[in-house]
């Protein structure tokens, strides 16, 4: 149950599963919300963060001290709604100051019934999460406030993120198509596990038609669309729950169809290649995370949002049913696996977001790499064979 606050002096509390309580004021809607407390180090792009489906069931803590300066506009959403379970900020802007703004951040949070809290010592909170790890949490304000012991019970009674199957909850209910800009070069089927708006846009800019399909779409349905390549999107939850997506990926690899995955899609491809996943202590969430490409030594500053990762080491090569593969990218900060690929080149994925709308754009070239891959894929070979046969 929620009510109106926007930003007021109504008391609110953020309660963590280990019993730590942070006090503040209601921000956005008033009421109660539960989720996993995580922190995001991005200094800009809060609208893109809040509307990213990968944040489904997570209470996001903004490390940037002041939030809301540029308000809320009608153009920068990464999906049709705000997906975060709750929002925690330190110093909310007193007013929105941007010519594109159509409303303020707290007004939009209130309109979409997103419960938040402001005035929190986010430095102390982030240090706590950085030390103890992401954990179950809840934000409570208005009539939802109760004794700390009761609030803690509510927090701990919720489902953990480990083992959570969430992709179906954010995926599209029906297929839709984004047409290419300019000449049509290729056709891609994008499996929506929590896709962001900017991903089909990045394909379209390269002359690629994109059929976005639901997470439960079968292999036969995909091949009926005659794709030149298949894309596995980002998304929320535990990749260990995605047996269906893993089997679909194996079928795609078995047919030699070019494949590209990001974030959740990286974990799905990794599992299809025989790798295991694990839950990270506090994950990577921000737009300033350096990644090293093993083959070239190239370093990209990347946008990321993930709490799970693939097992492996930089440059590690391993055998798969589809040929040899390797760990292609790692995080420069902690060595986390940030990408895998088949050595024959027909499938690759990265853990970060090359389509990041709020930036940075260092990794946008990966869309061009996928286009180059499709140029020599099975669909292209069939077209060449047909041309030779009719000439």
> Cα–chain-centroid distance for residue 3?
29
Q: Confirm or deny that 260 is annotated as ligand binding.
A: no
Q: Are 39 and 126 in contact (CB under 8 A)?
A: yes
The sign of the torsion formed by the CA atoms of 68, 74, 76, 79 equals positive
User: Does 237 carry a binding-site annotation?
Assistant: yes
| Phi/psi-derived region of residue 286, left when phi > 0, alpha when psi is between -120 and 50, beta in every other case | left
Name the residues annotated as catalytic: 263, 353, 355
267 assigned ligand-binding residue: yes
Report how far residue 190's alpha carbon sits from residue 327's, in angstroms, rounded to the nearest whole number.
23
Extract the tokens encoding 201: 């846009």
Q: Count the Cβ atoms, other than its own, within 10 Å of residue 45.
A: 21
Q: Looking at 152-276, which runs of residues are DSSP E strands?
A: 176-178, 186-191, 208-213, 229-232, 259-262
Q: Is 235 annotated as a binding residue?
A: yes
What whole-number distance in Å separates Cα of residue 248 and Cα of residue 113? Answer: 36
Q: Is 194 annotated as a binding residue?
A: no
The answer to whether 163 is a known ligand-binding residue is no
Q: Are 279 and 307 in contact (CB under 8 A)?
A: yes
Distance separating alpha carbons of residues 105 and 111, to the nearest angstrom: 10
Binding-site residues: 54, 235, 237, 264, 267, 305, 307-308
Binding positions for L-glutamine: 54, 235, 237, 264, 267, 305, 307-308
């Amino acid at each position: 149950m929620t009510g109106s606050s926007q930003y007021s002096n109504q008391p609110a509390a953020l309660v963590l599963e280990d019993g730590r309580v942070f006090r503040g004021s209601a921000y956005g809607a008033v009421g109660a919300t539960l989720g996993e407390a995580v922190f995001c180090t991005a200094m800009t792009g809060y609208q893109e963060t809040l509307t990213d489906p990968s944040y489904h069931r997570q209470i996001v803590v903004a490390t940037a001290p002041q939030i809301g300066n540029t308000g809320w506009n009608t153009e920068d959403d990464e999906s049709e709604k705000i997906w975060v379970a709750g929002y925690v900020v330190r110093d909310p802007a007193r007013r929105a100051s941007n010519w594109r703004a159509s409303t303020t951040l707290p007004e939009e949070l209130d309109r979409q019934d997103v419960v938040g809290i402001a005035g929190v010592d986010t430095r102390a909170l982030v240090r706590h999460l950085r030390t103890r790890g992401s954990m179950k949490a809840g934000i409570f304000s208005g009539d939802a406030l109760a004794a700390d012991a009761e609030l803690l019970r509510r927090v701990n009674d919720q489902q953990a993120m480990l083992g959570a199957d969430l992709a179906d909850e954010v995926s599209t209910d029906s297929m839709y198509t984004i047409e290419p800009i300019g000449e049509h070069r290729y056709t891609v089927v994008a499996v929506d596990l929590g896709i962001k708006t900017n991903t089909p846009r990045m394909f379209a800019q390269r002359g690629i038609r994109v059929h976005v399909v639901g997470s439960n779409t079968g292999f036969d349905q995909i091949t009926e669309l005659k794709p030149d390549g298949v894309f596995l999107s980002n998304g929320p939850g535990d990749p260990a729950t995605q047996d269906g997506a893993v089997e679909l990926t194996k079928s795609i690899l078995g047919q030699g169809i070019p494949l590209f995955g990001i974030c959740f899609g990286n974990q799905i491809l990794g599992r299809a290649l025989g790798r295991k996943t694990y839950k990270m202590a506090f994950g990577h969430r921000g737009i300033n995370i350096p990644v090293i490409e093993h083959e070239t030594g190239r370093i990209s500053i990347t946008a990321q949002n993930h709490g799970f990762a693939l097992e492996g080491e930089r440059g590690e090569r391993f055998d798969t049913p589809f040929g040899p593969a390797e760990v292609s990218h790692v995080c420069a900060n902690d060595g986390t696996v940030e990408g895998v690929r088949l050595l024959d080149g027909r499938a690759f994925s990265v853990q970060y977001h090359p389509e990041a709308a709020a930036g940075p754009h260092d990794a946008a070239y990966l869309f061009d790499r996928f286009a180059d891959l499709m140029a020599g894929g099975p669909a292209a070979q069939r077209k060449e064979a047909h041309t030779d046969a009719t000439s």
